Amino acid sequence: MHNDAPVYLCELVCPYQPTRTLRSANNNMLQVKRTRTKAGDCSFAIAAASLWNNLPTVIKTCDNLTSYKRLLKTFFFVSHISVIRHEHYIFLLDYLVILSIHNSALIYWYYCYVIIMIIIILQF
């Protein structure tokens, strides 16, 4: 967006310009072209524009390259942590179902307690 990328990459993406005045016109968005196939959705022009548009505005409007890199790393790190937490929840719930089928009630409730404690710890 700041013309720091190579020319051949800048030519693949174009800024979003609505046909009429909209509030989204000032959000530094890129135009996402329509495709008919999943392979087309994976092309650089489409994927880059989609990823760029999903970034928070504070990252897209950052002028300093060092600050931009720091904000981008933080954004992706936090996004990755939320995915890891979600996968842990699914794993823990699957484990709990298996325990409920094969073990006694006392062991089941003990593992319920342990899993709840793990979920509380993962929240922080």
Please tell me what DSSP assigns to residue 17.
-
Torsion angle of alpha carbons 93, 95, 98, 99, nearest 10°?
Answer: -100
* Cross-strand bridge partners of residue 15: 30
pLDDT at residue 39 in the model: 75
Residues 58-80: tens digit of each pLDDT: 888 888 888 888 888 888 777 66
Residue 103 structure tokens: 């073990």
* Crossing angle between the packed helical segments 105-123 and 65-102, to the nearest 10 degrees: 170
The structural domains of the chain, with segments of one domain joined by +, span 1-54, 63-124
Six-digit token string for 18: 């609505």
Q: What is the pLDDT of residues 100-124, one digit of tens each?
A: 555 555 565 566 666 666 666 655 4
